[in-house]
Structure 1
């Protein structure tokens, strides 16, 4: 190299602060453009990890419960604690995604979910395990909106339906991943912690490595709001305890908590008024298309949660089918739901006005009505047909509702949209036992399971009606997107 060139290079290094200048071909932005599927793949793995957290807990907790000889009622509390942590943490932690940045929040969520997932599987006493399960739900509450917002920001708006459908298929596969790990490592005699580490670590590491492509986080509207976060947790906790406590249990002391919760709700609404990106997503609820999709999500989640409580026992008892014989059709229905979500998302990208959401809700309603009306120990072919209809309907509802929610919200508000969707679904799941008590008050349609399935069919039918709220033209407002929407930039 000529001396003049060497001197020029030294001067360039000094002016650059000692950093070697990167050529455009090797810069992070160019790398991200060359690998446009890495960020969406990381987001899909994040959503699959959210599902893994719940399925692993359901498998490990009975083992820990037996090891520690805990009371029978404690298992229900431990299983519900993660859902409670998720519901309470969704809105506050989703507000941190714009503050930290989508990619940084996603990676924090990956680490938090992995650490809390491992700690929650340690054999400790009831109260430490309960606290860790709550924190595990809170970690999931950060990972879920961060994953969905990363998916929304890294995929062009014209393809978000296919991305959401792929997420549905990934979640369906993830639900069976722990069982495969258990079967594969059972001979090694690993403790539950080793099994959980083997199930969680590979997808977590893969998601972390895939999320390194973005040069910098995209700036989203929002700011750190500690008072709003505190009011959110306190308000939701008091309302979730006070409403069923007063109206279901008839406990006046819990009714006082309801009154305090309503006062805090008013204070929270006042505190959030006028903010550019409020933690309480009132700006999104003002959009009819978004509000309608959120209502569909609530009603469909209520139907699904209610049916899940009684359906397997109803089929096993009525048709004399053992768990081994029923496992294969249920697994097939679960995979069919994932494939239906993928197909429904693909169709919504090509025809945004396609009736994917109402069709899915109608299939759910028809399936639950058929389950309730079939006479026991007869018409097994119709029983299989109802199971298939329920799987397809669930997949179409998942893809249709999530796609509509993400499209009808501004791109910068995708963390709040994701949190609102997961919040209503979590509330519906927490309310499932009370909905079962409500079903018992219905006229004499049959046994408890038949009444519950009939009420689930009603909820699914209402979801189909609610899917027509809003106009298709409302989707895409403030939405996609510049040609470089797949790459984060300031």
Structure 2
């Protein structure tokens, strides 16, 4: 099979479609895994590099910040030069950075390598939705999006287990080296199968890219500092820089035909509603994700292994429900599916408090599976309507903003959980889970009232 410059208007033919989707899935899997897999090895890395735990945490932070600041610029660049080029370049960068990570002699070089690796991860994540839209025919788009959700869920669930298995037989260096053969395989398949897209020919806006980096970088940094830092002047300063850069970015984008920050897409009520619903949904998710391990470990007294096992039913339920949600999203309108999904999600979150404790861990497992299934039922149709409510030539901007909304929601949820835990006299699971359920219900209400969202498969 040889690559072709032909632009397919309604998905790729088989077997090219399957191989292209596999390429995207492998790229997403690596990007998600490397966002969390290294957490398990941080104590080992800190000891090996002779640095403090606080110093070693920058290995994680550098990756996350690089992803956040690069998503929108790389999505915009994909509309200019092609999504396949961004994906393939991301694979090369990710592979090279993984090798540098594995052989870094100092923590400073390792942190720099993780920053570069984050840029590669951002390249793969920023345009994955746009690529799926060009790979899958419209009638199967929901299934494609659900498969991506399943890959993300399985990768998130398997991360700690994979890290533990590698560390049991080898050193932390292999956490990075394992990316090399996967990256090479994905690059070869992607070179011959990834689709071409129409280019907009717009000049890349470097000034907006800098403002975007300042706005999102300092916002995420400030949110991450809440609850963990007592330096209020630093936190307030970060918020001020983020707000100032954000205002300047919006003003710069207002009169551009192809803005880096997709303001043109945000003028659509259905697209904006989907973005806000996504932010609220992921905020609810991360309030729970951050809080529950503390509850299991510090309040109940479970060890790290048992805590990890109890957290696993959530992503497993998400992975099992995602294909069903995809089929439903291709047949029925988004509003009822996303609304029902958020109601189920909120019920699962609240059930962690409602269900009687006499039954032991079975009640918490049932509640978390309910939450995971509800979130999957929300996420797939919400992402589908988000992508299809944007013109096909703006799918890069839609994909980039979709990923940015997810990160903003996750960061906001983690910050809110930190505030609630830090300022409570004792750990209150009810306060945390009801707060998460509240954000889920807000997301459900927004999903229910979106203009035009009751239509199926809106294609501009």
TM-score range, shorter chain: 0.7 to 0.9
Per-residue deviation, residues 140-162 of structure 1 (Å, max 9, x unmatched): 11111232211111111221110
Q: 1:230 is matched with which residue: 210, 220, 226?
A: 210
- Aligned match of 1:362: 343
Confirm whether residue 343 of structure 1 aligns to residue 353 of structure 2. Answer: no
Confirm whether residue 461 of structure 1 aligns to residue 413 of structure 2. Answer: no
Contact 1:68 1:123 in 2 (8 A): no
- Aligned match of 2:249: 268
Measured in 2, the distance between the counterparts of 1:72 and 1:327 equals 21
Contact 1:116 1:132 in 2 (8 A): yes
Measured in 2, the distance between the counterparts of 1:66 and 1:215 equals 42
Q: 1:99 is matched with which residue: 70, 76, 80?
A: 80
Per-residue deviation, residues 317-375 of structure 1 (Å, max 9, x unmatched): 55565544554454343222112111101111122347322222112211221213446
Q: In structure 1, the residue corresponding to 2:192 is in which secondary structure? A: coil
Confirm whether residue 116 of structure 1 aligns to residue 103 of structure 2. Answer: no
Q: In structure 1, the residue corresponding to 2:408 is in which secondary structure? A: helix
Instruction: Assess, with a 3 A threshold, how the Cα gap between structure 1 residues 408 and 342 changes in structure 2: closer, same or farther.
Output: same
- Alignment map for 1:337-486 (pairs within 5 Å): 337-353=318-334, 355-374=336-355, 378=359, 380-440=361-421, 447-468=427-448, 469-472=450-453, 476-479=457-460
Per-residue deviation, residues 251-310 of structure 1 (Å, max 9, x unmatched): 456645544544433332232222222101111111111111111111111111111112
Measured in 2, the distance between the counterparts of 1:429 and 1:179 equals 19
Instruction: Assess, with a 3 A threshold, how the Cα gap between structure 1 residues 437 and 171 changes in structure 2: closer, same or farther.
Output: closer
Instruction: Assess, with a 3 A threshold, how the Cα gap between structure 1 residues 238 and 79 changes in structure 2: closer, same or farther.
Output: closer
Q: CA deviation at 1:44?
A: 2.2
Measured in 2, the distance between the counterparts of 1:322 and 1:426 equals 29
Q: In structure 2, the residue corresponding to 1:52 is in which secondary structure? A: helix
- Aligned match of 1:89: 70
- Aligned match of 1:197: 177
Confirm whether residue 209 of structure 1 aligns to residue 165 of structure 2. Answer: no
Per-residue deviation, residues 93-112 of structure 1 (Å, max 9, x unmatched): 22111222111111011111
Per-residue deviation, residues 150-175 of structure 1 (Å, max 9, x unmatched): 11111112211100111122223334
Instruction: Assess, with a 3 A threshold, how the Cα gap between structure 1 residues 452 and 80 changes in structure 2: closer, same or farther.
Output: farther
- Aligned match of 1:282: 263
**Taking structure 1 as the reference length, what is the TM-score of the superposition?**
0.81
Measured in 2, the distance between the counterparts of 1:37 and 1:191 equals 35
Q: In structure 1, the residue corresponding to 2:191 is in which secondary structure? A: coil
Number of paired residues?
Answer: 452
Q: CA RMSD in A?
A: 3.3
Measured in 2, the distance between the counterparts of 1:26 and 1:113 equals 24
Measured in 2, the distance between the counterparts of 1:380 and 1:251 equals 39
Contact 2:77 2:204 in 1 (8 A): yes
Q: CA deviation at 1:68?
A: 2.0
Q: In structure 2, the residue corresponding to 1:192 is in which secondary structure? A: coil
Confirm whether residue 48 of structure 1 aligns to residue 29 of structure 2. Answer: yes
Q: 1:155 is matched with which residue: 114, 136, 147?
A: 136
- Aligned match of 1:128: 109
Q: Which runs of 5+ in 1 are unaligned?
A: 1-24, 480-490
- Aligned match of 1:9: none
Q: CA deviation at 1:410?
A: 1.5
- Alignment map for 1:51-62 (pairs within 5 Å): 51-62=32-43
Contact 1:299 1:462 in 2 (8 A): yes
Q: 1:74 is matched with which residue: 49, 52, 55?
A: 55
Measured in 2, the distance between the counterparts of 1:180 and 1:380 equals 21
Instruction: Assess, with a 3 A threshold, how the Cα gap between structure 1 residues 63 and 379 changes in structure 2: closer, same or farther.
Output: closer
The more displaced of 407-416 and 248-257 is 248-257
Instruction: Assess, with a 3 A threshold, how the Cα gap between structure 1 residues 371 and 210 changes in structure 2: closer, same or farther.
Output: same
